[in-house]
Amino acid sequence: MSAPSRPLAGKHAIVTGASRGIGQRVAELIAQAGGDVTLVGRDTERLEANAAQLMQAHGVKTLVAATDVADPQAIEATYAKASQALGAPAILVNNAGQAISAPVHKTDLELWNRMIGVNLSGVYMFTKVALPAMTKAGWGRVVNVASTAGLRGYAYVSAYCAAKHGVIGLTRAVAQEVAIKGVTINAVCPGYVDSDMTDHTLNNIMKTTGRSREEALSSIVVHNPQKRLVSTDEVAQAVLWLCLPSQGAINGQALGINGGEV
């Protein structure tokens, strides 16, 4: 029997960080697979434009929810609004993230709290509010976009690294809790991706070391055995795959999308 062309038809997905980069591509792939999408982020203009494109290209329902994922109350309000508009979400992709670099002795408490808030507490809070409806329905998919920084250390990003390690710990623990309830939760761990986030990293390296863009790029792709950046599509395809009804046995995994770096 051939696979259905729209395997996520009738399912509502929340995708955080859907304004650009990996999250924008995840939202597109979910819509292409027939899923309705709530697009979460802070840049309302970009979210609205992406939502309009998804409706036009794929005929799915969308909702834009401007939300700072570091704000737990905003997450609760967004989840309630999304459920009311498009029904209880069956899929949650925790993708929003931010990486600000500094050596640990220059990482002040504000930066530390910001990195943990955006990259870890936001994932915890969205997962916490979304799981009850999934377990009640007996079906759900949570995919957390972690990082190779959740599996190994990198210099000058201790707060980000700590947060991403936390995301993987959270994923593994919750996977044990939901295992018999028809819900799976997994993480993907990209290496450096061709997105705005890496662009900021390159600009930062150029500014602090005086290197050219080409030299800065060489200094980061050296981590990836394939000696290249990962594309947003490569990450998003893995996220989509984990969301499919056919992937019910994959639970609590931290899947490397990094050319074999870890």
Is 38 a binding residue for ligand NAP by CB under 6 A? The answer is: no
**Strands 62-66 vs 91-94: parallel, antiparallel or unpaired:** unpaired
Do 220 and 52 form a contact (C-beta atoms < 8 A)?
Answer: no
Task: Work out which of 186, 198, 224, 251 binds ligand NAP, going by CB under 6 A.
Answer: 198
Task: Work out which of 11, 13, 14, 21 binds ligand NAP, going by CB under 6 A.
Answer: 21
Task: Work out which of 6, 7, 20, 83 binds ligand NAP, going by CB under 6 A.
Answer: 20
Q: Given 124, 156, 160, 192, which residue is catalytic?
A: 160
- Least Å from the CB of residue 23 to ligand NAP: 5
- Least Å from the CB of residue 181 to ligand NAP: 26
Partnered with residue 141 across adjacent β-strands are: 91, 184
Give CB contacts under 8 A, 24+ apart, made by 204-212.
Answer: 204/101
User: 175-208: b or e for each residue (b if 16 or more CB lie within 10 Å)?
Assistant: beebeeeebbbbbbbbbbbbbebbeebbeebeee
Per-residue interface string for the shown chain with ligand NAP, residues 63-82, x marking contact by CB under 6 A: ----xxxx------------
* DSSP element (H, E) containing 65: strand 62-66
What is the spatial distance between Cα 27 and Cα 13, in angstroms, rounded to a whole number?
8
- The CA-based angle 176-180-182, given to 5 degrees, is 110
Is 233 a binding residue for ligand NAP by CB under 6 A? The answer is: no
Do 39 and 62 form a contact (C-beta atoms < 8 A)?
Answer: yes
Is 203 a binding residue for ligand NAP by CB under 6 A? The answer is: no
How many residues does this entry show for the chain?
A: 262
User: Closer CB to ligand NAP, residue 17 or residue 166?
Assistant: 17
CA terminus-to-terminus distance, the chain:
36
User: Closer CB to ligand NAP, residue 7 or residue 233?
Assistant: 233
- Least Å from the CB of residue 4 to ligand NAP: 28
- Least Å from the CB of residue 124 to ligand NAP: 14
- Least Å from the CB of residue 256 to ligand NAP: 11
Is 166 a binding residue for ligand NAP by CB under 6 A? The answer is: no
Residue with tokens 């697979």: 33
User: Closer CB to ligand NAP, residue 33 or residue 69?
Assistant: 69
User: Closer CB to ligand NAP, residue 145 or residue 238?
Assistant: 145
- The CA-based angle 74-126-39, given to 5 degrees, is 70
Is 161 a binding residue for ligand NAP by CB under 6 A? The answer is: no
Query: Is 160 among the catalytic positions?
Result: yes
* DSSP element (H, E) containing 218: helix 213-221
User: Under the rule (CB under 6 A), what is the footprint of ligand NAP?
Assistant: 16-17, 19-23, 41-43, 67-70, 95-99, 118, 145, 147, 190, 192-193, 195-198
Residues assigned a catalytic role? 160
